[in-house]
Amino acid sequence: VMVNLCNYLVEPMSSIPQMLAERKAAKTLIDKLARDTEENAGREGEPLPAGKEVDLELNHVTFGYTAGQNALKDVSLRFVPGKSYAVVGASGSGKSTLLNLLMGSYDSYSGAICCNGKELRKVNPDSLYAQMSLVGQQVFIFDDTIRRNVTMFRDFPEEQVQNAMEQAGLLPVVAAHGEAFCGENGNRLSGGERQRIAIARCLLQGAKVLLADEATAALDAETARRVAESLLALEGITRIVVTHRLEPGVMNQYDQIIVMKNGMVYEIGSFEQLMERKGQFYALYTMANG
Ligand code: ADP
Ligand code: MG
């Protein structure tokens, strides 16, 4: 009995060192999470008016994730409401960073980012997220019908839902799929169909700016092209599309092409202008298309 009782004491005590080590390993992570949550919470700010155009402007924006290493250097850009922009450039050139800054993910930039003339740091984050929508490579799909995946279980007028699904090119998918469930994380849908759901969500939400970060990177060329064309066909919404697919017949449809290099805007212009210039974009484009 004595030995048995001792075991009750010794065994839990022997697990203490391991628990301490685990705690120590997790502590930096927990601290980082706490810092980030604190930074994001409690930001009040002025709300953006819903349903109005969003005019975005960057003025000499410099930003780095770590001190002394700038991911964006002196970037000045204006995104005119309703226009389409392609952002191209080598990996690590700062394309994702640009989108993250526009989404208000970081406050520690220098220069100014203005949203309808208001400094982004002073804009209420919730009202910003209602107006700006980011489509990434991974789209989260619930195991439910396509329709409910688009509405995200909220109530919208039927006409609005139909309209969003039509613009996103989802109607043929619904016709083929019907009311069937999409499977765990959408495994009964193709990559292109998942992306279309993300686009429809954004349209239904009434976002005025759609940001896409290599959204079609995981798709085959033909599907990627069709998704890109659906994006280009949207009206009344600013589209900022980061892409490494420089396809003929698609690139020339963007209003402006922004070429990033080493965190800077290296070239900007329409397809024709950039091709005529025979600079960086010309080199990337001719390399991609033989
Ligand atoms: P792109 O999207 O054009 O490939 P990114 O904007 O992701 O490039 O990255 C720009 C630079 O910033 C790169 O040098 C990258 O290593 C760095 N970077 C990106 N994200 C982070 C991060 N979360 N922490 C630190 N450095 C980062
Ligand atoms: Mg990126």
* Length of the chain as a residue count: 290
Dist. CA 214–CA 200, nearest whole Å: 17
pTM of structure:
0.82
Element (H, E) at 53: none
Report which bound ligand comes closest to the CA of 69: 1
Q: What is the mean pLDDT of residues 86-114?
A: 93
**Which ligand 1 atom sits closest to the C-alpha of 90?**
3
140 lines ligand 1 (CB under 6 A): no
Cα of 29 vs centre of ligand 2, distance in Å, is: 23
Residue 61 β-bridge partners: 75
Q: Taking 90 as the threshold, does the pLDDT of residue 220 lie above it?
A: no
What's phi and psi for 244, nearest 5 deg?
Answer: -110, 5
pLDDT average, residue stretch 92-114: 93
- Tell the residue nearest (CA) to atom 7 of ligand 1: 96
Per the CB < 8 A criterion, the answer to whether 113 and 144 are in contact is no
State the Cα–Cα distance between residues 174 and 168, nearest whole angstrom: 12
The predicted structure's pLDDT at residue 49: 79
Cα(101)–Cα(58) distance, integer angstroms: 10
pLDDT at 184 over 90: no
Res 40: pLDDT: 65
What does the pLDDT read at residue 290?
A: 80
Looking at the chain, the whole-number percentage of residues with pLDDT higher than 70 is 98
Q: What is the mean pLDDT of residues 112-136?
A: 90
C-beta of 32 in contact with ligand 1 (< 6 A): no
Whether 82 shows a pLDDT value over 90: the answer reads yes
Structure confidence by residue, pLDDT tens digits, 232-243:
998 889 999 999
What one-letter code names the amino acid at 265? V
pLDDT at 262 over 90: yes
The reported pLDDT for the residue numbered 63 is: 95
More confident residue, 164 or 137: 164
Residue 102 has pLDDT above 90, yes or no: yes
Segment holding 123, helix H or strand E: none
Expressed in angstroms and rounded, the spacing between residue 39 Cα and the centre of ligand 2 is: 23
Spatial contact of 210 and 238, defined as CB atoms under 8 Å apart: yes
Q: What is the pLDDT of residue 10?
A: 92
Token pair in block for residue 75: 């970037």
Three-state DSSP class for residue 95: helix
Kindly state the average pLDDT of the residues 64-70.
91
Give the pLDDT of residue 25.
Answer: 86
Say which residue, 151 or 48, is predicted with more confidence. 151
Query: Which atom in ligand 1 lies closest to the alpha carbon of residue 98?
Result: 6
Check residue 41 and give its pLDDT: 67
pLDDT at 51 over 80: no
Q: How far apart are CA 155 and CA 238, in angstroms?
A: 25
Q: What is the pLDDT of residue 177?
A: 82
Rounded to the nearest angstrom, the distance between the alpha carbon of 273 and the centre of ligand 2 is 25
Tokens of 255: 């209003």
Write the residue with the smallest CA distance to atom 6 of ligand 1. 94
- Which ligand is closest in space to the CA of residue 87? 1
63 Cβ closer than 6 Å to some ligand 1 atom: no
Tell which one of 36, 63, 65 to mutate to probe ligand 1, the residue whose CB is within 8 A of the most ligand atoms: 65
Distance between CA atoms of residues 87 and 99, nearest Å: 10
pLDDT, residue 37, reads: 81
What's the gap in Å between 87 CA and the centre of ligand 1? 15
Residue 224 host element (H or E): helix 221-233
Structure tokens at 174: 């619904």
Per DSSP (E only), the strands in the chain are 56-63, 72-79, 84-88, 110-115, 118-119, 132-135, 209-213, 238-242, 256-261, 264-269
For residue 130, how far is its CA from the centre of ligand 1 (angstroms)? Answer: 25
- 87 CA from centroid of ligand 2 (Å): 10
Ligand 1 proximity of 65 Cβ (cutoff 6 Å): yes
Tell me, using a 6 A CB cutoff, whether residue 70 lines ligand 1: no
pLDDT exceeds 80 at position 39: no
Q: What is the pLDDT of residue 73?
A: 95
> One-letter amino acid identity for 11?
E
Rg of the Cα atoms in the chain: 23
**42: pLDDT strictly greater than 70:** no
- pLDDT value at 14 more than 80: yes
Helix 158-167 / helix 191-204 crossing angle, nearest 10 deg? 140
